[in-house]
Structure 1
Amino acid sequence: MEPKREVTSVGLVALVGELGAYTGATVDKAYLYADGLVRLKMRDYDRGRIELLIQVGERKRVHVTEPEFVPAAPDRPPNFAKMLRNRIAGADLASVSQHGFDRILEFEFRRGDADTTIVAELFGEGNLAVLDESGAVIDSLSTVRLRSRTVAPGAQYGFPESRINPLEMDYEAFAATMAESDTDLVRTMATQLNFGGTYGEELCTRAGVEKTLDITEAGETEYRRLYAEMTDLLDRLREGDTDPRVYREDGAVVDVTPVPMEEYADLESEAYDTFNAALDAYFRALEDREDEPETGESSGPDFDAEIEKRERIIEQQEQAIEDFERRAETEREKAQALYANYDFVDEIIRTVREARESGHSWPEIESRLAEGAEAGIEAAAAVTGIDESEGMIRIDLDDHEIPLDPRSGVEKNADRLYTGAKEIESKRDGALEAIEDTRAELAALKERKAGYEEEAAEAEDEKPAEDVDWLARESIPIRRPEKWYDRFRSFRTSDGFLVLGGRNAEQNEELVAKYMEHADRFFHTQAHGGPATILKTSEPSEPTKDIEVPEQSLREAAQFAVTYSTIWKQGQYSGDVYMVSGDQVSKTPESGEYLEKGGFAIRGDRTYFEDTPVGAAVGIACEPETRVLGGPPEPIEAQTETSIRIEPGRYAQGDVAKRVYREFRERFTDTTFVRKIASPDEIQKFMPPGTSRISEGEE
C-alpha cells in the first residue's frame, strides 16, 4: 500500500476545529523551505512557542509541530519569505477555515495597519497565495492563469470552481446527486460527493452496502444508509469527536485518519490524542522513511522507479504545454479585445496620457478616475489599477484584465500582447521538443527493462529445478510478465487449454470478433447475463486446429461460464450451460430479430452441460510466474502454491477480497510479496459477480 502524502478533505474538517485553538497567537517570523514548505513561528500567552507548518509541494499538509522538530532556518530568506514577514510579523492569527469541502485552508491574520489572508491549496500541484484585505493577491508560490480562475500578483484571487459540499447537504440533495450518477455507489461517493477513494469505501463499508452496486440498482435503502453514515462522520468531526490513528503496514506508515477505519482493520495502528498530533507524527515518520537510504541486496536495476519518474515528468510537461497554449490564447484574446473596442480603449489611453502630460501625478489620476467611475463614466470605471513604477494602467475589458501603456496607441499595445503570445508559444515549442526527448527516454527504459527481465527469466530457467517451500520462504522474487489476455477473465484448464471470459458486453463482443476461431469452443449459460466464454484450441500466434478437447477441460470451462454469470449473483448454486463451436456464433441476427449489445446468434446443434455447479477459487502461483489465478477450483488448486475456495454468500466482493488477502498474508512468510502480488484489488478481479463468502472448509 502506497503511503498517503496529502491531507484529505475529511481530515481538514477535523483539523480546522483543532487549529482554531491557536487563534490569538502572534506571528514572530516566517520561513520558506524547499518543496513548498512554509513555517510560521508564533507565540501564545498560554502555550508559549508555536510552530505551524504548511506544505503544498509533493507532500501536502498543515499541522503544528514541536519546536525540536522544525528544520533549521535557511541562511538567506527568499523573497517570498521576506514578503510574508513584512505582511504578518506581529499579526495575530484571527481564524482558520476550510473553503467548502475542498482541500483549501484559509488563515486570516490581523494587524493594526493591515489584514492578511494566506490561502493554502492542498490539491493538484499545490499553491500558497497571500491576499490583502480586498482579496487581491500580493504574491503566490505559483502563478495560475486559467479561464476559470487566476492566482497572480495584483489580480483578485480566484477559488477553484465550486464543488458539491456534503457538509451542507440535506437528504434530498444527497439522493438527487446519487441518482444522477452513471457509475456504482463507491465511485459516486468518491467522485461526485468528493470523499475520495478511501473514505468512499469506508462509508460504504459502514453503511453495509455493496460498493460496486450500480446506481441503477440502488435505491432509497442504500441512499438512507450512506447518508446516515456520512452525516454521522462529518458531524462528529465538526464537533471535535475524533479518535485519530496512524496506520502502518509492515512497520511503515501508510495513512493518518481522524477516526478508526474499518477499511484498515488488518493494519497496525497507533492512537493519538489529537488529529494534529497524529498528522505531525505521520509526516515526520513519512519523511524519515522516504529520505533514508535503501539497504539490503539489490534485485537489479530499479527500472520501475525510473519509468515512474519519466512518466511523472511527461505529465508535468503535458500540463506545461497546455498552460503555454492557454496563456498564449489569452494574450491573443486581449489583443483582439483592444481592436474590437478600439475607440473605447483609445479614449482611455488619450485621457490618461493627456493627464500625465499636463503634470498630474499618478495618485491624482487614480483619484480622478475613481470620481469618474462613481459618476458613471464607463471609460473611467474600466480602469482597475495603476502601476506607477512601470507607468502602466490596467483595464477590465471583455472578461480580461489588460495592461496598457498610455504612452503608446492602441496598435502598439495590441502588438505588445501579440508579441507576448508568440514568446509564450516559443516556450511551448521548447516544451514539445523536451517531451519528445522524455518519451524517447521512457521507451528506451521500457525496452531495457524488458530485455533485463527476459535475461533474468532465461537465467532462472537454466537453474536446476528444486522443491521450494514458497510459503516459508522469506523473500520471493517477483516474476510477472504481462499477458495479452490479462484484461479479460481467464484461466488454464487442467489440460492446459486457455479459457477466456468477457467482463462486460464490450469485452464479450471483442473476444468473439478478434480472438475466437472456428475450432474454438464457445460456452454460455442458458440464463441471461453471463460472460462470452471461449476455450481456445490454439494460441493466437498459432494456426487454428480442430482437436479433441478432453471432457474434464470442457466441464471446467462450463463451470467457469456459470460461475461468472448472473446465476452466482442470484445466489444459486448451479445452472445449465451450452457449448457450440466457434463457427456457429454470429453477430448477424435472424430476419426480423434484434441483437442487443454483447449478444450473439447461435446456429446449429448445442451440447448441454446441465445443472453445472458454480465454483471458484483464488490462489497465488509462485512458479514459473508469480501472479494471482482464479477460476474453477480443481485447476486453480493444482496450479497455485495455495488457494482459497469461494461460494455464494452475503458479503460484498471487496470485503471477501480483503478476507482472502488477510488469509494469504497469514500463510506466507513474505508478506511484502503478498501485498505486491495479491492486493485486495487484484484478488477482487477474480471474484464472481455479486456477494459471496469463503467456503466453510476454508474457515
Structure 2
Amino acid sequence: MKVLSSLEIKAVVAELQSLINARVDQIYQPDATEIVLALHRSNLGKNLLRIIPGTALYITTKRRASPKESINFCRFLRKRLGPTKLKEIIQKNRERIVELHFEGKDSYFILIAEFFSKGNLILCDKNYIIISAFQVQLWKDRKIKAKQKYEYPPERKIDFKDFEEFKSYIQANKKESIVKTIALSLNMGGTYAEELCFRAKINKETKDPTEKDVKEIFTQLQILLSEELQPNTIQGEPYPISMHEKGKGEPQDSYNKALDQYYAQFIEEDTEKEQEREKKKNKWEDMITEQEKQRIQVERAIEENKIKAEWIYNNYMEAKEIMDLFKQKKLTELKKKGVEVEGKNLLIEIQ
C-alpha cells in the first residue's frame, strides 16, 4: 500500500485548504490504524478526512464501519474537538508532518499527524504541550507522551537559498548513488528522486555527479517544487504532477479523489475480511446461545427431577398407592386424589 511522500503530502494539503472553517461534526475510528474526521462546511457539505498515521491523509467517500464501542483515543478526540472548527492545515517544512489547528469558543487544539516511520497522531494545546497521542513513542532525543513539549524530528533540507548551498548539502550527504542521495537527503522518496534524475538527464546510479549534473538537478528541483498540480493516475497509481519518467497519465479531478480511488481497493478488502470475521463471530455466538439454552434446559430438568425425587422420598406410601391405582387403572380413584393421567404419565401437583 502506498505511503505518501513529502511532495504528495504537499499536494494533499494544498487541496485541503477548502476545508478551512469547517465544523467538526463527528470523529470515527474504524480500527486501531486510522481516524476519520467528519467536517462540515455550509457551501461544501460534509467531507470525511481519513488520516492513517504513517501512510496517508485524504478526503474519502468510503466510510468504514466503526466498532460498537469507541476506541479510547477516538472518545478523547470527540470530547476535545467536538465543538471546534478547523482553522488551519499546514505541512511542516515540507516534511511528512501535517498540523491541523482547531479553534473552539474557549479552546485551541493542534492535531499533529506524522507520516514517517510508524506514524502517529498527537493532540497538543496551543503551546504544543502534548495532551494525548495515538501511540506513546520514546526515542533517545524525542518523547511523544502526555505533558511533554512536542519536538519536531531533525529537519531534512529541501529548500535552498542558492546553488552553492545545494551543492554543499549534496556533497555532505552523499550516498552510494545520486538517486539515493536525492531520495534520502532531500526527503523526496524513491519515485520522485528517479523522476528528478530523469528530468535532469542523469543516470540515477551515478555515484559522483559532476558540478554540471548537480546544477541541472538543482534547476529541475526548483521546477518540480513549483509545478502546478496535475493530478493523474498511471497504471492505477496516483500522482499529483506529471511524471515524465513514467509516461502520460490519466487526468483526475483532484489528487484527493485519485487517492480515494487508489485506497478504496484496500478498504474493500478490509470490509470483506470484516464481513468474514463477522460471519464467523455470528456463527460462534449462535452456537454459544444454543449451548446456553441447552444448559438452562438441563439445569431445569435436574432441578425438577430433584424435587420429584424428594417428594417421592418424603411421601413414599402415598406414591406407592398412586402407582398401584394406576396399574389397576382406577382412574376415578386417582382423580379424587388430584392425580391427572396423560397417556403413560401421571401429573401430580407437588406443594
User: Which TM-score applies when normalising by structure 2?
Assistant: 0.73
Secondary structure at the counterpart of residue 66 of structure 2: coil
Match of 2:52 among 50, 55, 58: 55
User: Is the Cα contact below 8 Å between 2:64 and 2:271 reproduced in 1?
Assistant: no
User: Is the Cα contact below 8 Å between 1:246 and 1:282 reproduced in 2?
Assistant: no
User: Is the Cα contact below 8 Å between 1:136 and 1:155 reproduced in 2?
Assistant: yes
Pick closer, same or farther for the CA change 1:287–1:76 going to 2, 3 Å.
closer
- Residues of 1 paired with 2:164 and 2:108: CA distance? 40
Letter in 1 for 2:143: T
User: Is the Cα contact below 8 Å between 2:64 and 2:267 reproduced in 1?
Assistant: no
Return the offset for 1:189. 0.8
- Residues of 1 paired with 2:160 and 2:259: CA distance? 26
- 1:169-189 deviation digits (Å, cap 9, x = unpaired): 532221111222253221211
Secondary structure at the counterpart of residue 263 of structure 1: coil
Letter in 2 for 1:63: Y
- Residues of 2 paired with 1:195 and 1:80: CA distance? 31
- 1:675-698 deviation digits (Å, cap 9, x = unpaired): xxxxxxxxxxxxxxxxxxxxxxxx
Structure 2: runs of 5 or more not aligned:
274-351
- Residues of 2 paired with 1:96 and 1:167: CA distance? 20
Q: Does 1:258 align with 2:243?
A: no
Return the offset for 1:292. 6.2
- Residues of 2 paired with 1:97 and 1:206: CA distance? 28
| 1:14 alignment counterpart | 11
Match of 2:151 among 154, 158, 163: 158
- 1:506-528 deviation digits (Å, cap 9, x = unpaired): xxxxxxxxxxxxxxxxxxxxxxx
Return the offset for 1:35. 4.0
Q: Does 1:24 align with 2:21?
A: yes
Return the offset for 1:142. 0.7
Structure 2 matches for 1:530-545, cutoff 5 A?
A: none
- Residues of 1 paired with 2:190 and 2:138: CA distance? 29
- 1:231-265 deviation digits (Å, cap 9, x = unpaired): 111112xxxx21112232xxxx4x32101223323
Pick closer, same or farther for the CA change 1:33–1:286 going to 2, 3 Å.
closer
Letter in 1 for 2:133: S
Q: Does 1:145 align with 2:138?
A: yes
Secondary structure at the counterpart of residue 264 of structure 1: coil
Match of 2:31 among 10, 27, 34: 34
Letter in 1 for 2:167: A
Match of 1:234 among 216, 219, 225: 225
Secondary structure at the counterpart of residue 139 of structure 1: strand
Return the offset for 1:276. 1.1
- Residues of 1 paired with 2:66 and 2:270: CA distance? 22
Q: Does 1:243 align with 2:230?
A: yes
Letter in 2 for 1:242: L
User: Is the Cα contact below 8 Å between 2:160 and 2:166 reproduced in 1?
Assistant: no
| 1:64 alignment counterpart | 59
Return the offset for 1:125. 1.0
Secondary structure at the counterpart of residue 210 of structure 1: coil
Secondary structure at the counterpart of residue 164 of structure 2: helix
| 2:124 alignment counterpart | 131
- Residues of 2 paired with 1:120 and 1:246: CA distance? 25
Structure 2 matches for 1:236-635, cutoff 5 A?
A: 236=227, 241-248=228-235, 253=236, 255-265=237-247, 269-288=249-268
Letter in 1 for 2:17: G
- Residues of 2 paired with 1:228 and 1:187: CA distance? 18
Letter in 1 for 2:10: V
Letter in 2 for 1:171: F
User: Is the Cα contact below 8 Å between 1:42 and 1:51 reproduced in 2?
Assistant: yes
Letter in 2 for 1:188: T
| 1:219 alignment counterpart | 210
Q: Does 1:186 align with 2:166?
A: no
- 1:353-378 deviation digits (Å, cap 9, x = unpaired): xxxxxxxxxxxxxxxxxxxxxxxxxx
Pick closer, same or farther for the CA change 1:116–1:269 going to 2, 3 Å.
same
Return the offset for 1:190. 1.1
Return the offset for 1:205. 0.3
- 1:276-310 deviation digits (Å, cap 9, x = unpaired): 111111111344367768xxxxxxxxxxxxxxxxx
- Residues of 1 paired with 2:177 and 2:257: CA distance? 36
- 1:15-49 deviation digits (Å, cap 9, x = unpaired): 11111111010101111121421011111010011
Return the offset for 1:168. 4.6
Q: Does 1:108 align with 2:108?
A: no
- Residues of 2 paired with 1:168 and 1:108: CA distance? 28
Structure 1: runs of 5 or more not aligned:
294-699
- Residues of 2 paired with 1:167 and 1:74: CA distance? 43
- 1:442-494 deviation digits (Å, cap 9, x = unpaired): xxxxxxxxxxxxxxxxxxxxxxxxxxxxxxxxxxxxxxxxxxxxxxxxxxxxx
Secondary structure at the counterpart of residue 79 of structure 2: helix
Runs of 4+ in 1 over 6 A off after TM superposition: 290-293
User: Which TM-score applies when normalising by structure 1?
Assistant: 0.37
- Residues of 2 paired with 1:232 and 1:285: CA distance? 33
User: Is the Cα contact below 8 Å between 2:233 and 2:251 reproduced in 1?
Assistant: yes
- Residues of 1 paired with 2:102 and 2:203: CA distance? 46
Secondary structure at the counterpart of residue 122 of structure 2: strand
- Residues of 1 paired with 2:83 and 2:149: CA distance? 25
RMSD (Å), alpha carbons: 1.9
- Residues of 2 paired with 1:226 and 1:39: CA distance? 39
| 1:172 alignment counterpart | 164
Secondary structure at the counterpart of residue 118 of structure 1: strand
User: Is the Cα contact below 8 Å between 1:203 and 1:230 reproduced in 2?
Assistant: yes
- Residues of 1 paired with 2:160 and 2:257: CA distance? 28
User: Is the Cα contact below 8 Å between 2:19 and 2:39 reproduced in 1?
Assistant: no
Letter in 2 for 1:12: I
Return the offset for 1:271. 2.0
Q: Does 1:97 align with 2:90?
A: yes
- Residues of 1 paired with 2:251 and 2:265: CA distance? 15
Pick closer, same or farther for the CA change 1:190–1:101 going to 2, 3 Å.
same
Pick closer, same or farther for the CA change 1:272–1:182 going to 2, 3 Å.
closer
| 1:206 alignment counterpart | 199
Return the offset for 1:85. 1.1
User: Is the Cα contact below 8 Å between 2:178 and 2:207 reproduced in 1?
Assistant: yes
